[in-house]
């Protein structure tokens, strides 16, 4: 049975509410196998009835507001996406919590302000909605919004304002952890907002960086200060009633660490930290570390550059890998371009697969990342071009904003065109047109951005016919053909077992 197809047109050319074109991106160079040049897409018609259904549209959207705004969380819904933002009247204004719903193109459909006057400090998907921890100047509340943006309930927590607050949920319960007067406080709520238990831990004084609920066990990640400008990572394990089971100290004496996120699955514990390696705070890297349940390191993935890399969000992916979001100062540093929003992709073994950087002339930040059912990513953050403006991106599985069509970018002088799609044999036939003789590199990538086939070969000027041998399973693949100056990309649908 053949493939039935539809080309899905993307909103890449869509303007924001102020009439500006979507923001551009940079792709950082991290290894010789990475796709690192600027990549613009040219859509074409495919002969016959065959085209490629590629999932939800990619986009970059600035959510305009009259004041200052950051977007701190996003999740996919049945109708599009839900966003959590912090909105204030201007610099120094009192921030409030706002929940947006959008369609699949990132266009805002509804906007709801929380009844509690305070800014969102942590959010987590809970059942079909979003649980948000909000902080005012004096106290903290947890509020639950439905996927349609309706506030369902609000519960004020006992005690003073919960600093460094982080949230986790497992479908039945919500856990809020943070610091009160320097020590740890943890509260568990049920699905209706009732407090199940709330415990203070006066002897535990680390700054909370993340929390995760797994198999009725609470894992809390934190950072403790040490002498000589050092810090260590702490992991506290509680049972379902808040009783301390274990408290671990990690990476003591290895430099200055900042704990950002933790996730747990059957294979182990995954910790995201930012490590600063110079006292001037300008040189640093992102580390993703896997621990077993004895808290023994299994591997460490590193995202580093020429300056300071920072990550604040992490999400586990369907293939066992991870995506992180943050910002990069590894680009040429100046007052007019201080940082770019950054997205990184790690494999299930901790290898850095790719990094994408997006931004303009202002300072741009990525604050959260979430997975989409089509394999793409949602990233929220802000741009400082006009005050702080909320920035929301939907990328494909390779981290690109461009629509991933059957035929991607090709210049008039250098173009690769697939001759048969879908591909049902062991060979991939395509034609490459080159302006002059030389050497080209041909690499096939799967939807996770991993190289699965490739080689280097000489070409002549004009038309070159290739019949590339590929032994890959059924699926959708990107093929990158490049020389020292040019590149061309096309998509191939591989269909094993006949049509």
From 8-12, 379-383, 419-423, the region with the lowest mean pLDDT: 8-12
268-285 tens-digit pLDDT: 999 999 998 665 666 789
Write down which residue in 363, 395, 427 finishes a domain: 395
Write down which residue in 360, 395, 430 finishes a domain: 395
* Tokens (6 digits) for 68: 């200052």
Pair (171, 308) in one structural domain: yes
What pLDDT score does 348 carry? 94
Among 255, 254, 259, CA closest to 236: 259
Pair (308, 229) in one structural domain: yes
159-214 tens-digit pLDDT: 789 999 999 999 999 999 999 999 999 999 999 999 999 999 999 999 999 999 99
In the predicted structure, residue 40 carries a pLDDT above the cut 50: no
Cα angle value 452/453/455 (rounded, 5°): 150
What pLDDT score does 199 carry? 96
Pair (466, 420) in one structural domain: yes
| Buried b or exposed e, range 150-178, using 16+ CB within 10 angstroms | ebeebbebeeebbbbbbbbbbeebbbbbb
What pLDDT score does 91 carry? 66
Pair (430, 368) in one structural domain: no
pTM above 0.85, yes or no: no
Whether residue 361 lies inside any domain: the answer is yes
In the predicted structure, residue 493 carries a pLDDT above the cut 90: no
Q: What is the CATH number of the domain that holds 480?
A: 2.60.40.2550
- What are the strands, taking DSSP E only, across 146-267? 151-156, 163-169, 174-180, 183-189, 195-201, 207-214, 217-226, 230-238, 244-250, 256-265
What pLDDT score does 108 carry? 93
321-332 tens-digit pLDDT: 999 999 998 755
Residue that wins the pLDDT comparison between 437 and 93: 437
What pLDDT score does 253 carry? 78
Whether residue 400 lies inside any domain: the answer is no
Residue that wins the pLDDT comparison between 228 and 7: 228
Would the CA dihedral through 237, 239, 244, 246 be positive or negative? negative
* Tokens (6 digits) for 491: 């998509």
Cα separation, 180 vs 195, whole angstroms: 17
* Tokens (6 digits) for 261: 């996120």
Pair (276, 237) in one structural domain: yes
Residue 66 parent element (H or E): none
Average pLDDT over residues 462-471: 92
Q: Sorting pLDDT into bands at 50, 70 and 90, what band is 58?
A: confident
Parent domain of 482: 415-494
Write down which residue in 395, 428, 452 finishes a domain: 395
Residue that wins the pLDDT comparison between 298 and 487: 298
Pair (228, 372) in one structural domain: yes
Pair (298, 359) in one structural domain: yes
Cα separation, 85 vs 111, whole angstroms: 10
Q: How many CB atoms lie within 10 A of CB 344?
A: 28
In the predicted structure, residue 479 carries a pLDDT above the cut 50: yes
Task: Kindly report the average pLDDT of the chain as a whole number.
Answer: 83
| Buried b or exposed e, range 316-335, using 16+ CB within 10 angstroms | ebeeebbbbbbbbbbbeeee
What pLDDT score does 488 carry? 86
In the predicted structure, residue 158 carries a pLDDT above the cut 90: no
Residue that wins the pLDDT comparison between 38 and 67: 67
In the predicted structure, residue 14 carries a pLDDT above the cut 50: no
CB-CB contact of 104 with 115 (8 Å): no
Task: Give the chain's radius of gyration (CA, Å).
Answer: 24
Q: Sorting pLDDT into bands at 50, 70 and 90, what band is 55?
A: low
What pLDDT score does 115 carry? 96
Cα separation, 46 vs 5, whole angstroms: 10
Whether residue 337 lies inside any domain: the answer is yes
Pair (352, 468) in one structural domain: no
285-309 tens-digit pLDDT: 999 999 999 999 999 999 998 888 9
Pair (342, 450) in one structural domain: no
Q: What percentage of the chain reaches a pLDDT higher than 70?
A: 82
CA distances from 273 to 20, 246, 311, 326 (A): 35, 20, 8, 12
Whether residue 18 lies inside any domain: the answer is no
In the predicted structure, residue 353 carries a pLDDT above the cut 70: yes
CB-CB contact of 188 with 231 (8 Å): no
What pLDDT score does 410 carry? 57
Whether residue 462 lies inside any domain: the answer is yes
Cα separation, 274 vs 236, whole angstroms: 19
Among 427, 430, 423, 429, CA closest to 474: 423
Whether residue 425 lies inside any domain: the answer is yes
Q: Read off the DSSP letter of residue 13.
A: T
CB-CB contact of 401 with 409 (8 Å): no
Edge-first strand listing for the sheet containing 59-63: 59-63, 389-395, 377-383, 364-371
Pair (368, 435) in one structural domain: no
From 109-123, 281-295, 384-398, 415-429, the region with the lowest mean pLDDT: 384-398
Contacts of residues 184-193 at CB distance under 8 Å and 24 or more positions apart, as own/partner, are 184/208, 184/220, 184/222, 184/236, 185/159, 186/218, 186/220, 186/238, 186/242, 187/142, 187/157, 187/158, 188/218, 188/242, 189/142, 189/155, 191/126, 191/127, 192/153, 193/142, 193/144, 193/153, 193/154, 193/155
Q: How many domains does the chain have?
A: 2
Pair (376, 430) in one structural domain: no
Would the CA dihedral through 103, 130, 348, 497 be positive or negative? negative
What pLDDT score does 453 carry? 86
Whether residue 31 lies inside any domain: the answer is no
Q: What is the CATH number of the domain that holds 328?
A: 2.120.10.30
CB-CB contact of 377 with 394 (8 Å): yes
Pair (301, 340) in one structural domain: yes
126-136 tens-digit pLDDT: 999 999 999 99
In the predicted structure, residue 21 carries a pLDDT above the cut 50: no
Residue that wins the pLDDT comparison between 403 and 152: 152
Whether residue 119 lies inside any domain: the answer is yes
Q: Sorting pLDDT into bands at 50, 70 and 90, what band is 421?
A: confident
CB-CB contact of 369 with 325 (8 Å): yes
């Amino acid at each position: 049975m053949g493939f039935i197809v539809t080309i899905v047109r993307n909103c890449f050319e869509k303007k924001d509410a102020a009439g500006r074109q979507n923001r551009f991106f940079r792709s950082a160079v991290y290894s010789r196998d990475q796709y690192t040049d600027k990549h613009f897409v040219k859509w074409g018609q495919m002969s016959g009835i065959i085209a490629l259904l590629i999932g939800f549209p990619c986009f970059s959207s600035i959510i305009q507001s009259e004041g200052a705004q950051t977007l701190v969380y996003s999740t996919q819904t049945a109708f599009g996406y839900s966003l959590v933002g912090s909105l204030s009247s201007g610099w120094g204004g009192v921030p409030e919590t706002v929940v947006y719903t959008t369609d699949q193109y990132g266009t805002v459909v509804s906007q709801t302000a929380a009844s509690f006057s305070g800014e969102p400090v942590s959010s987590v998907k809970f059942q079909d909605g979003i649980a948000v921890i909000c902080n005012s100047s004096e106290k903290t509340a947890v509020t639950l919004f439905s996927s349609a943006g309706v506030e369902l309930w609000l519960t004020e927590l006992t005690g003073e304002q919960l600093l460094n607050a982080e949230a986790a949920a497992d479908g039945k319960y919500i856990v809020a952890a943070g610091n009160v007067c320097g020590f740890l406080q943890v509260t568990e709520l049920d699905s209706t907002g009732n407090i199940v238990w709330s415990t203070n831990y006066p002897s535990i004084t680390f700054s909370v960086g993340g929390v995760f609920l797994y198999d009725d066990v609470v894992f809390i990640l934190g950072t403790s200060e040490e002498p000589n400008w050092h810090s260590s990572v702490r992991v506290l394990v509680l049972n379902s009633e808040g009783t301390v089971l274990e408290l671990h100290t990690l990476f003591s004496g290895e430099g200055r660490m900042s704990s950002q996120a933790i996730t747990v699955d059957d294979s182990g514990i995954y910790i995201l930290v930012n490590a600063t390696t110079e006292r001037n705070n300008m040189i640093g890297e992102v580390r993703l570390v896997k621990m077993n349940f004895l808290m023994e390191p299994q591997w460490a993935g590193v995202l580093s550059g020429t300056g300071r890399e920072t990550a604040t969000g992490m999400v586990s992916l369907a293939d066992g890998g991870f995506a992180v979001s943050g910002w990069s100062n590894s680009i040429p540093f100046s007052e007019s371009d201080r940082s770019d929003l950054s997205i990184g992709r790690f494999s299930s073994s901790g290898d850095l697969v790719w990094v994408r950087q997006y931004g303009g002339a202002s300072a741009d930040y990525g604050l959260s990342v979430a997975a989409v059912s089509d394999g793409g990513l949602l990233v929220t953050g802000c741009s400082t071009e006009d005050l702080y403006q909320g920035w929301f991106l939907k990328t494909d599985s390779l981290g690109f904003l461009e629509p991933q069509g059957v035929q991607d970018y090709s210049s008039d002088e250098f173009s690769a065109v697939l001759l048969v799609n879908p591909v049902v044999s062991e060979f991939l036939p395509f034609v490459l047109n080159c302006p002059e003789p030389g050497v080209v590199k041909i690499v096939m990538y799967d939807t996770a951005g991993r190289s699965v086939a490739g080689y280097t070969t000489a070409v002549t000027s004009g038309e070159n016919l290739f019949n590339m041998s590929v032994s890959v399973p059924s699926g959708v693949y990107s093929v990158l053909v490049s020389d020292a100056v040019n590149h061309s990309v096309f998509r191939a649908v591989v269909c094993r077992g006949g049509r």
